[in-house]
Chains A and B, each alone.
Chain A
Amino acid sequence: MIDPIVFWTVATLSVAAAILVVTARDLVHGALAMVATFALTAVLYLALSAAFIAAVQVIVYAGAIMVLFVFVVMLMGRRDVGFSEPIGGQRTLAMVAVAGLAALLAWAGANGVPASVVLGPADTPLPDLPGGFGSPASIGDRLFTEWVLPVEVVGILLLAAMLGVIVIARSGGLRGRGIESTAETEH
């Protein structure tokens, strides 16, 4: 069971930070609010006995991904960013659709699954965990025995992403208003 104080504090703050990201007028403010959301999520992971995932969350999300975002923002210069309205009434429609989605997901999260999985702040007793649940040792043990093929596939995916980024960055990017074949420009 999760401490209700921890849960409600983290839940309120992370929803507020997420709304700040979505409504940010300045990209740097959006990035800062996003760091707050990710750090609060790491707190939640610690409360859910996922110590390794919490550490990875801080390193990868709040560290690497955030540095990438801030780097790109600084590369392009700070500026005010507005809201898009290419189609008339799009904002209203989008808000209605998102409110519907939120209601549906909240309802499904509360009622669509067995009550033992919903995991509110003061809920049904949780199963006892084996010692070291969520520790690096237990995760690594599973990762490199049962899940070794997905690990290799993710490794190849990361390599492909890295090569793709190098190709996009080296070949002068996209020309004109369309993406030209990058194959002919790379040497």
Chain B
Amino acid sequence: MLVLSGILFAIGASGVLLRCNAILVLMSVELMLNAVNIALVSTARALGDLDGQLFVFFSLSIAAAEVAVGLAIVVAIYRSLGRTDVDDIGAMHG
């Protein structure tokens, strides 16, 4: 179970490293968060301890907040630049 979690995490990391579209990068970050949640729930089951599931609950809330903010930034960048490739938005100085 932990091995499956590690493999899914690595797939998500490859998405972050390889893709240039900001939305796909965000999706890959979600995959990585999801992989960590699998590890937490399986450890909670193996130890018979409910705390792992509570961690997952908080991690889910934070993932929701992160996606909302991330997608709002993507939409804002799209409105001002007309595209959403992470390579084009390197210049982010105020």
Q: How many residues of B contact A (CB 8 A)?
A: 76
A131 at the B interface (CB under 8 A): no
In the bound complex, what is the Cα–Cα distance between A101 and B61 (angstroms)?
A: 27
**Chain A: interface secondary structure?**
helix
- Cβ-defined partner of B60 (8 Å) among A60, A94, A172, A176: A60
Indicate if the CB atoms of B48 and A126 lie closer than 8 Å: yes
| Contact residues in B for A48 (Cβ distance below 8 Å) | 1, 41-42, 44-45
Indicate if the CB atoms of A97 and B6 lie closer than 8 Å: no
In the bound complex, what is the Cα–Cα distance between A42 and B10 (angstroms)?
A: 20
Indicate if the CB atoms of B13 and A98 lie closer than 8 Å: yes
Indicate if the CB atoms of A98 and B10 lie closer than 8 Å: yes
**Chain B: interface secondary structure?**
helix
In the complex with contacts A91-B18, A150-B58, A139-B53 CB distance below 8 A: yes
Looking at chain A, what size class is its interface with the partner chain? Answer: 35 or more
In the bound complex, what is the Cα–Cα distance between A57 and B13 (angstroms)?
A: 21
Q: Which residue of A lies closest to B86 (CB)?
A: A84
Indicate if the CB atoms of B50 and A139 lie closer than 8 Å: yes
| Contact residues in A for B57 (Cβ distance below 8 Å) | 53, 56, 139, 143
In the complex with contacts A84-B18, A98-B13, A34-B31 CB distance below 8 A: yes
| Contact residues in A for B10 (Cβ distance below 8 Å) | 98-99, 101-102, 105
- Cβ-defined partner of B54 (8 Å) among A30, A97, A101, A147: A147
In the bound complex, what is the Cα–Cα distance between A119 and B7 (angstroms)?
A: 15
| Contact residues in A for B5 (Cβ distance below 8 Å) | 105, 109
Q: List 15 A-B contacts (CB under 8 A).
A: A30-B23, A60-B61, A69-B27, A73-B23, A76-B84, A82-B20, A118-B2, A126-B48, A129-B45, A133-B50, A138-B50, A139-B54, A168-B73, A169-B76, A177-B91
The 5 closest A-B pairs by CB, nearest first: A105-B6, A173-B76, A84-B20, A109-B2, A102-B10
**Contacts A61-B60, A65-B30, A174-B81 known; 4 new A-B pairs at CB < 8 A:** A21-B11, A34-B31, A37-B31, A142-B54
